[in-house]
Amino acid sequence: MSILHDFLVAETAEHRRACYITLTSKLQRWRRKARVMARPNAIGMLGRRFVATTMRRAKHRPGGTPNAIVLAYHRVVHADSDPQSLCVQPHHFAEQLAVLRQQFQLVPLRELVQCLSRGRSVAGTAAITFDDGYADNLHAARPALEGLHAPATVFVASDHIGNAGEFWWDELDRLLLQPGTLPTELEVTIAGHRYSWKLGDDACYDRAAFDRHRAWSAGEPSPTRRHQIYSALSMMLPALTPRQREDILERLRAWAGQDRRARVSHRTLTESETVALAAGDLIEIGAHTAAHPVLSMLPVAEQKREIEASKRRLEAVLERPVVSFAYPYGALSDYGRETIETVQAIGFESACTTFDDVVRPGADPFQLPRMLVRDWDGERFSRELRARM
């Protein structure tokens, strides 16, 4: 665990305290998730997922098993920094599409779901999906998909359509990890707990320092106090309500002397871009809630509001039904049985998770596993696929 490593090698009491804050925030998040996982229906789902994982790791007999795979992307872009590992560079995306075209039959997600529902074979098929609704899905991903006639589904968080700001993880990157000078101390109160950090020399962060650490991703040891703060906040913010999270971000903006305007490189789709992305039959738009919360942390009524509002907004923009859904964050602890029932009741035909597995015959269309795709070249991507299939 990188934060434990940071704590053990800390040279000063101040550094150890910063690591302690990050570790405490992680433990608090794990406790919240454990409460979700302890429910009987969640334990049942976890058991079924354990069996699936065990089956995946077992050696296949000659001929393999009749499985499909769903790929989960977020962005196709050259990024200065990518602490959440969401970005695939355009040339790598082109290599990955070529591998998929060579090794699989690329099908729309809805077609894969229909085959599952009707008991038809899905062997050797693959479906491409994107989460969140970044503008580069239109300007970089769609042209590449069109070039190979590769269908895809883009899950859009509807409150971010035309939003002047960035997703919270991008805003933390903009406020904390970009070159510039910040105040030497930060103090915030989150869920009734007060946290404070002293930045020391890291308050001044020049381009050379940024370039040294630009490849850093969350989960790795923190090279500066700025990265420690980013790691701690990225553990705490997802579990907050959208309103609570926005209050914290507003406090950080005031502290950093910045407004909420998104960088051009990190902006989300506008309404007209959403319509353009969905034009024709190549791209399906799916729902991803309104504000991208951890659904399992919300009361059922609020979960319903988030899911329903997303569907209504997207259908109003597109003037067509929206029938595919993806759970924000998508881990088992991020949604529950009541979430699945709500998604079904609202009228969706399927829902995607981020559980890393292949899609097997008889898979639950409301808990579809997906392989998270990173910035791999074609050779590495092919190896990752073979390891799962």
Q: What does the pLDDT read at residue 389?
A: 86
Which residue has 């405490």 as its token pair?
24
HEC assignment per residue over 275-287 = HHHHCCCCEEEEE
Contacts 24+ apart (CB under 8 A), 13-20: 14/198, 14/200, 15/225, 18/197, 18/198, 18/225, 18/228, 18/229, 18/232, 19/228
H-only helix segments in 66-148: 90-103, 109-117, 136, 142-147
Domains of the chain in sequence order: 2-33+168-256 (no CATH), 69-163+268-388 (3.20.20.370)
Tell me whether strands 185-190 and 193-198 are parallel, antiparallel or unpaired: antiparallel
Q: How far is CA 307 from CA 64, 138, 226, 252, 294, in A?
A: 37, 23, 34, 28, 12
The first and second tokens of residue 63, run together, are 């001929």
Q: What is the pLDDT along the chain (389 residues), one digit of tens a residue?
A: 555 555 555 555 554 555 555 555 556 555 655 655 565 555 655 665 566 555 545 544 434 568 999 999 999 999 999 999 999 999 999 999 999 999 999 999 999 999 999 999 999 999 999 999 999 999 999 999 999 999 999 999 999 999 999 999 999 999 999 999 999 999 999 989 999 999 999 999 999 999 999 999 998 999 999 999 999 999 999 989 999 999 999 999 999 999 999 999 999 999 999 999 999 999 999 999 999 999 999 999 999 999 999 999 999 999 999 999 999 999 999 999 999 999 999 999 999 999 999 999 999 999 999 999 999 999 999 999 999 98
H-only helix segments in the chain: 2-9, 13-37, 40-57, 90-103, 109-117, 136, 142-147, 168-176, 207-213, 225-236, 242-256, 271-278, 300-318, 337-346, 378-388
Burial (CB < 10 A; 0-12, 13-18, 19+), residue 206, is: exposed
> How far apart, in whole angstroms, are the C-alpha atoms of residue 133 and residue 72?
13
Query: Which of 337, 319, 321, 262 lies closest to 287 in space, CA to CA?
Result: 321
Q: What does the pLDDT read at residue 66?
A: 87
Q: What does the pLDDT read at residue 132?
A: 98
Q: What does the pLDDT read at residue 356?
A: 96
pTM recorded for the entire structure: 0.88
Q: Annotate 189-242 with DSSP letters as a single string.
A: EETTEEEEEE-GGGGEE-HHHHHHHTT--BTBPPSSHHHHHHHHHHHHGGGS-H
Cβ proximity of 262 and 164 under 8 Å:
yes
Query: Which of 230, 235, 342 lies closest to 287 in space, CA to CA?
Result: 342
What does the DSSP 8-state code read for residue 135? T
CB atoms within 10 A of CB 84: 17
The first and second tokens of residue 316, run together, are 């109003």
> How far apart, in whole angstroms, are the C-alpha atoms of residue 94 and residue 148?
9
> How far apart, in whole angstroms, are the C-alpha atoms of residue 345 and residue 166?
31
Query: Which of 251, 87, 77, 264 lies closest to 175 in space, CA to CA?
Result: 251
Tell me whether strands 204-205 and 87-88 are parallel, antiparallel or unpaired: unpaired
Cβ proximity of 286 and 326 under 8 Å:
yes
Cβ proximity of 161 and 278 under 8 Å:
no
HSE value, Cβ hemisphere, 13 Å, CA-based, for 304: 10
What does the DSSP 8-state code read for residue 261? P
The first and second tokens of residue 365, run together, are 């269309």
